[in-house]
Amino acid sequence: MQVKTTTDLTSQTYDDARMIRKTVFIEEQGVVPALEFDGSDDNAVHFVAYIDGKPAATARGTLEDHRVHIQRVATLKIYRGQGIAREVITAVLAAPEFASATEFYLGAQETAIGFYEKLGFAVTSEPFVEAGIRHRMMELKR
């Protein structure tokens, strides 16, 4: 497995991230395209995991005031359950672009809370609904 990063919205890596997000969030989960592609991609570092050269999972992170907001974590169905998303999150946490970060936070779909807890994140909010899906805020301090 290889994890690539990009901030170039004209790159193949970014195109692969968009394809994964479209497949998982829009097609599988019914998220409205305007919510998924919210105009914030140009401020983010995009991460894509590749298995045998094929895009498998993605996430994006943005840094503000020593805090990294992790979003759009998605794995294509055929690659789920193989630890690929864990590797993507590990890459986000270790990214040189985020070396100054003291905290990472995200809005986790409730079905993924256990996954993030295993990575050291803790729930910090009551449930809320975003894009029609129940979430909880989670954070990891370092």
Burial class (CB in 10 A: 0-12, 13-18, 19+), 102: exposed
Residue 15 sits in a domain whose CATH number is 3.40.630.30
Specify the pLDDT at position 21: 98
Q: What is the pTM of this model?
A: 0.95
Question: What letter represents residue 78's amino acid?
Answer: I
Which residues constitute the domain of residue 86? 2-141
pLDDT in tens, 84-129: 999 999 999 999 999 999 999 999 999 999 999 999 999 999 999 9
pLDDT in tens, 42-95: 999 999 999 999 999 999 999 999 999 999 999 999 999 999 999 999 999 999
Specify the pLDDT at position 48: 98
| Per-residue CA distances from 70 to 4, 44, 52, 54 (Å) | 16, 9, 25, 22
Report which secondary-structure segment, H or E, holds 70. Answer: strand 67-75
**Total count of domains within the chain:** 1
